[in-house]
Amino acid sequence: MYTIGKLARATGVSIRALRYYDELGLLTPAATTETGYRVYSEDNLLRLQQILMLKQLGFSLKRIAEVLGHAGALSGEAAWRTALGQQLAALRAEQERLRRLEQLLHTALTALRMKGSFQLDDIELFVRSLQPENQRQRDEFRRRVFTDDERHILEALPNFGSDDPRLEEWAALLRRVRDSLQEPPFSPQAQQLAAELVTYGRSVFAGDDALLDKYWQQIKPQPGDPAAVYGLDAEMMAYIEAIVGWYEAHGEGGADG
């Protein structure tokens, strides 16, 4: 027999919590004194320990009440397994949700690095692009247009929701491009950028210039259309083509397409 205070000390549960469990009907004291004091029995202690265990496992009090039942009997192994399995499934779903949130945050940080600010549109674009349906469409498109080897390289491109360090580099690069849109393509600043863009492109496309070109053509939006790849709207792509074109015609590289 325990008073509420003793039970609280014995189990580490607060007195308030014990009264709350009583109020919920989750843990009803075995008896009450004439003066209204709650009196807990050993059975109460056992049930409380089951409650605490399920709480540890992330069950809500309501679920605990369902699982333990009014009687307090553990309803048999199969029922336990079902309850635990459901909890596990719910937990996994929540983890999946958080994983997507994390991708979104990475996206936001990258957008911030690219533009110095970001808007709802940026986020919405990514919420959409993370939908399974869009992923499927994109994959299907890639399967039609690219060979297996090519897709292998494309899938290794820095992924927007990740914390791939190359993303930071790419964001910084694109930001400088955006800040240089007024520069004529032949200016030293623009040509410096062109050189860095070419280097970056080579590195992420594993030196496969032809694939880079093919990909570049595929993602080019119509003027005014939204960017197919974040940060690469028609204006930016046109400018990049201009400076890289000049770079390849006159610059140090002077090489292929």
The correct pick among 53, 145, 206, 210 for binding its own copies (CB under 8 A) is 53
Q: At what angle do helices 165-179 and 234-250 cross, to 10 degrees?
A: 90
Residue 37, interface with DNA (CB under 7 A)?
yes
Size of the site for DNA (CB under 7 A): 21
Among the residues of 39-76, which ranges form H helices? 42-56, 61-68
Read out DSSP for 221-234?
A: PPTTSPPSSTT--H
For residue 61, the partner it binds in its own copies, DNA, none, with Cβ less than 5 to 8 A by kind, is: DNA
Residue 98, interface with its own copies (CB under 8 A)?
yes
Phi and psi at residue 121, in whole multiples of 5°?
Answer: -55, -45
Size of the site for its own copies (CB under 8 A): 36
Alpha-carbon distance of 26 to 59, in angstroms, equals: 13
**Nearest distance, CB of residue 59 and DNA, angstroms:** 7
Between the CA of residue 206 and those of 72, 212, 225, what are the distances in Å?
A: 64, 9, 29
Residue 4, interface with DNA (CB under 7 A)?
yes
The correct pick among 19, 100, 142, 151 for binding DNA (CB under 7 A) is 19
**Nearest distance, CB of residue 165 and its own copies, angstroms:** 15
The correct pick among 15, 17, 57, 154 for binding its own copies (CB under 8 A) is 57
Residue 32, interface with its own copies (CB under 8 A)?
no
> Which of 156, 162, 159, 147 has the alpha carbon at shortest distance from 211?
147
Between the CA of residue 7 and those of 11, 59, 180, what are the distances in Å?
A: 6, 22, 70
For residue 62, the partner it binds in DNA, its own copies, none, with Cβ less than 5 to 8 A by kind, is: DNA
Residue 71 is which amino acid?
A
3-state secondary structure of 63: helix
List of residues contacting DNA (CB under 7 A): 3-6, 8, 14-17, 19-20, 33-38, 55, 60-62
List of residues contacting its own copies (CB under 8 A): 49-50, 52-53, 56-58, 74, 77, 80-81, 84-85, 87-88, 91-92, 94-95, 98-99, 101-102, 104-106, 108-109, 112, 116-120, 123, 127
